[in-house]
Chain A
Amino acid sequence: MAIKVEHELHKRRLDRNIGVGLLLIGFVVIVLILTVVKVQGLGDIREMERFDHVARPALEQAAGTSQEEGTQ
């Protein structure tokens, strides 16, 4: 007797694979929307640049301007 092509085991595996797939898609969507919400919540987008250690002229310029404003 040949092995059945569609065994109940295959249904369970399909059920699980679809479940894991949907969870992964859900996770990606959550991280995407969370990123958008977090970035929008920053207000000044230049805040983002402070997370790395590369020289950022825009930031230095902004700091210089605020210092000048402070001395006046």
Chain B
Amino acid sequence: MTDVTQQTGTYEARMGDYFALMKPRVMQLVVFTALVGLLVAPVPVHPFIGFVGILCIAVGAGASGALNMWWDADIDAVMKRTQSRPIPSGRVQPGEALGIGLALSGFSVILLALATNLLAAGLLAFTIFFYAVIYSMWLKRSTPQNIVIGGAAGAFPPMVGWAVATGGIAPESVLMFALIFMWTPPHFWALALFVKSDYGNADVPMLTETHGRRVTRNHILGYTIALVPVALGIAFTSIGGPVYLAVALLLNGWFLKGAVDIWRRDDADSEADQHAVEKRVFKISLYYLFGHFGALLVEAVLRTNGLGGW
């Protein structure tokens, strides 16, 4: 036997395989929203402490991603979309993912506590716990509302960013949380309507499979309507202003129209144009979130230059 791989029996991971465990695409959204939360806060932060704060939030998010992949390895192996992930493809051993997830969770929370404050670290610890335990281990396989409640995990980063700067919680940070929390269901369900998923084979109760696509369309409209006052409400807080309000009006009108379009269609229409409207609304939902947080950032920049705000 001359092949070393055969002798050892297991694949040895590259650094990139471990990095893939941390769900880098999700991390981009986390970094962006946490950064906005930090920059719009009324308390200035030393740039390096701010950098370490964002790094810890990103690593914490990555750690919860690794724990999620460890726990969900069985269903990831069944579904086509997730079969190439590091654990089901055999590039990383489940135990390694668990070890990396736990170690990075502890590392990120402790470093955040030392670099910034205990509240920010506590919020980060809760976010990791929420995603890994409440969402992955409990909700995901037990209720079709899994992504509604689980969406809270993705909504915490701007609150953590705000806490890094201020050491506290404020109506503004709670509204930023609420914006992502309310945005997640229509965003995700728009995707679920056009991606051919095999959640059913993996026994994961997604709304499209348990209650049907008609109910999912109704839910998208309902949640989008509920999202509008949250998004517009931020405009009248200390972090909002006319620029944010203009952007929010535009984006909410656009997103709401998309949700109505989805609601008015049925599956026959959708199949006929290869889910064109659902795909368009999913794309709009991405612009929606980045647009709102981008506008908050613009308001913050304007305020530091004596402009912006009301």
Contact = CB atoms under 8 A, between A and B. Distances in A.
Contacts of B18: 16, 19
A3 B4 contact: yes
B48 A33 contact: yes
B103 to A, nearest CB: 12
A9 interface: yes
B123 to A, nearest CB: 20
A33 B115 CA distance: 11
**Interface SS of B by simple majority:** helix
Contact of A8 (B2, B5, B8, B52): B5
Nearest to A26: B55
Contacts of B114: 34
A13 B11 CA distance: 11
B46 interface: yes
A41 B46 contact: yes
A12 interface: yes
Contact of A37 (B2, B4, B46): B46
Contact of B48 (A18, A19, A37): A37
Contacts of B46: 37, 41
Interface in B8-38: 8, 12-16, 18
B226 interface: no
B301 interface: no
**Interface SS of A by simple majority:** helix
A30 B59 CA distance: 14
A12 B14 contact: yes
B302 interface: no
A7 interface: yes
A4 B2 CA distance: 8
Contacts of B8: 9
A37 B50 CA distance: 11
A55 interface: no
Nearest to A19: B15
Contact of A16 (B3, B12, B52): B12
Interface of A: 1-4, 7-9, 12-13, 15-16, 18-20, 30, 33-34, 37, 41
Given A16-B18, A33-B48, A34-B52, 6 more contacts: A16-B12, A16-B13, A16-B14, A16-B15, A34-B114, A37-B48
14 contacts: A2-B2, A3-B4, A7-B3, A9-B8, A9-B12, A12-B12, A15-B14, A18-B15, A19-B15, A20-B15, A30-B52, A34-B52, A34-B114, A37-B46
